[in-house]
Amino acid sequence: MNYYEVKGTDLKVSVLGYGCMNLGQRWDQSVLEDKDIERTKESVMTAFEQGINFFDHADIYTYGKSEVAFGELLGEEPSLRQQMIIQTKCGIRFQDDPKPGSPHRYDFSAQHIVRSVNESLDRLQTDYLDVLLLHRPDPLCEPEEIALAFAELHSAGKVRYFGVSNHTAMQIELLKKSIDYPIIFNQVELNLVHNQLIYEGIHFNQNVSIPSLTHGTLDYCRLNDITVQAWSPLAKGLLTSDGMSKSEIEIETSELLEDMAVSKHSTPEAIMLSWLLRHPAGIQPIIGTTKARRILDACKAVKVQLTREEWYHLLNTVIGKNLP
């Protein structure tokens, strides 16, 4: 495994992170079962044994069960905590929370941020988080209130560093106006198929614009030493899994991934991840599979080097046309 030193911190993170979204298995209020905990141990330890030291959570993942399952592992093997970098997210609230009739919403109130962190710490069986991310932009956010929550959590030793997820450049700028701590991560959806953050810079000033709300966010993060994390880096298996309905372009891209994997003695998953790793922004893909074999397939990405020509070949193929 290779590692990044996160600028402005003492964190040395694996270039691939492990996403813990589905460790709890079921997205409902059901009770966590013993078999779920055993699956979690197998998945997490497979990733850890491959050198992945970065584990990404959120308070809402399988209604908190993913954090509980992970916490059971830490409870049994407390020595693992010092070898892991643990990140969680807060801010999304489900419908009917806390009472029937409450809408699905985002909540960056200081009260919710602090309560959410305390509950995540309990579920994870740890007394601190390495990183806390604000999950999705809250249109009603008041940066001064977020700053108060961050200061309380940091001074209490409960959160070491802070970041955001799914935020644009200007949304980050707004937060930075009031927050005294650096924003070190921005976790966004980014993969070979969902490539707008990268492709918008190529398509700028063309006759026909492409729908995009990213507004230079990738370049902004590079300028401001904010590490970009890519969620869904394998596009939910669209290009690498059998049995999924694909367009003609997606079929062609899948075939190219297979050909490249054969030529490099690797896997299509590794090629997709290496496409992100090849970008000079230092993107950290967050892989989310719970299957040990797929974790191993993904980790082969660190041994793959794409040439400039191969990188552009993949991009041309997936957009279905030549570059401008």
**61 given a catalytic annotation:** yes
The CA distance from 133 to 122, in Å, is: 17
Q: How remote is the C-alpha of 161 from its chain's centroid?
A: 16
Catalytic residue among 3, 18, 61, 63: 61
Residue pair 212/204 in contact (Cβ under 8 Å)? The answer is no
Encoded tokens for 240: 């690498």
The CA distance from 283 to 4, in Å, is: 10
Side-chain-side CA neighbours of 46 within 13 Å: the count stands at 22
Q: Which residues, in sequence order, are CB contacts of 231 under 8 Å at separation 6+?
A: 19, 165, 187, 188, 189, 190, 286, 288
Among the residues of 50-168, which ranges form H helices?
65-76, 110-124, 143-155
Q: Which residues, in sequence order, are CB contacts of 152 under 8 Å at separation 6+?
A: 110, 114
Catalytic site positions: 61
